[in-house]
Amino acid sequence: GQQLNQSPQSMFIQEGEDVSMNCTSSSIFNTWLWYKQDPGEGPVLLIALYKAGELTSNGRLTAQFGITRKDSFLNISASIPSDVGIYFCAGPPGGATNKLIFGTGTLLAVQP
């Protein structure tokens, strides 16, 4: 089946640093979404992208829909301790509109 691979697997940074992570697929996606999961909670939607090349921001977070439609990127500027968590990309596989598959996740740890 289709897979979404995220890198890096984990990041350990200092408060105030900028963060970049990405998500890649072997096939084309028409929609990319980025979710964050706090410890012990379910994921929460951060940003949704619907068009190749689209760049969308949500506060200190910026995500881009890759022009090949096989990747997406998430940047966090000036990280703070509450940014800690697992970040997942997600998308509807094979053109299906009824469901999402999730990436492998990037664990972010922020040292105050």
Partner 1 sequence: NAGVTQTPKFRILKIGQSMTLQCAQDMNHNYMYWYRQDPGMGLKLIYYSVGAGITDKGEVPNGYNVSRSTTEDFPLRLELAAPSQTSVYFCASRPSGNYGYTFGSGTRLTVV
Q: Applying CB under 8 A, which residues contact partner 1? A: 1, 4, 31, 33, 35, 40-45, 48, 88, 90, 92, 98-105
> Which is closer to partner 1, CB of 77 or CB of 104?
104
**Closer CB to partner 1, residue 39 or residue 112?**
39
**DSSP one-letter code for 70:** S
Rounded least distance, CB 20 to partner 1, Å: 19
- Provide, rounded to whole angstroms, the least separation between the CB of residue 99 and partner 1: 5
> Between vectors from CA 7 to CA 4 and to CA 13, what angle results, nearest 5°?
145
Smallest distance from partner 1 to CB 4, Å: 8
Q: Supply 90's token pair.
A: 């997600």
How far apart, in whole angstroms, are the C-alpha atoms of residue 7 and residue 11? 9
Considering the complex, state which of residue 13 and residue 100 has its C-beta at the smaller distance from partner 1. Answer: 100
Q: What whole-number distance in Å separates Cα of residue 70 and Cα of residue 41?
A: 28
